[in-house]
């Protein structure tokens, strides 16, 4: 009886772990504001970063200034989705003439091009 149970578990376990998610190439087809070279680097960096996690191993989405790592399972009976969102780094492109700053996608032209006298905005140096 134990052998039969073992065989049933071993047979059906891979079916319950089937992963279905949007392909990575489809995710990056939507990003039309970057050169192919930049998209390739972004994809490689995000795939590596998501792969560092023991639980959220797949790149699921990139949107605005966030990316999502997670898992999507469908065994025919149940569907499960897990995931966690993370911010892209400051200055990462997030749209046409847009960059990420403090987790927000902002127009590059709204950024100060020079530091004017009396401006509180200054480049971050990491020395707080």
Q: Which tops the pLDDT comparison, 72 or 36? A: 36
The pLDDT > 70 percentage for the chain reads: 75
Query: Whole domain around residue 78: which residue ranges?
Result: 20-110
Q: Please report which confidence band the pLDDT of residue 22 belongs to, taking 50, 70 and 90 as the band edges.
A: low
Reduce the secondary structure of the chain to three states and give it as a string: CHHHHHHHHHHHHHHHCCECCCCHHHHHHCCCCCCHHHHHHHHHHHHHHHHCCCCCCEEEEEECCEEEEEEEEECCCCEEEEEEEEECCCCCEEECCEEEECCEEEEHHHCCCCCCCCCCCCCCCCCC
Give domain status of residue 11, yes or no.
Answer: no
Give domain status of residue 37, yes or no.
Answer: yes
Give domain status of residue 81, yes or no.
Answer: yes
5 pLDDT exceeds 50? no
| Average pLDDT across the chain, whole number | 78
Give domain status of residue 13, yes or no.
Answer: no
pLDDT in tens, 103-113: 999 999 988 88
Name the domain count of the chain: 1
Give domain status of residue 95, yes or no.
Answer: yes
Give domain status of residue 116, yes or no.
Answer: no
Give domain status of residue 56, yes or no.
Answer: yes
Give domain status of residue 104, yes or no.
Answer: yes
């Amino acid at each position: 009886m134990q052998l039969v149970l073992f065989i049933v578990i071993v047979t059906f376990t891979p079916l319950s772990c089937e992963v279905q998610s949007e392909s990575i190439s489809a995710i990056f087809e939507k990003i039309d504001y970057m050169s192919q070279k930049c998209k390739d680097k972004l994809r490689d960096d995000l795939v590596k970063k998501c792969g560092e996690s023991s639980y959220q191993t797949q790149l699921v989405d990139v949107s605005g200034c966030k990316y999502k790592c997670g898992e999507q399972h469908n065994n025919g009976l149940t569907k499960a989705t897990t995931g966690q969102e993370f911010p892209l780094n400051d200055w990462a492109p997030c749209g046409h003439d847009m960059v990420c700053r403090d987790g927000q996608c902002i127009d590059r032209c709204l950024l100060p091009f020079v530091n004017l006298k009396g401006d509180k905005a200054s480049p971050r140096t990491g020395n707080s």
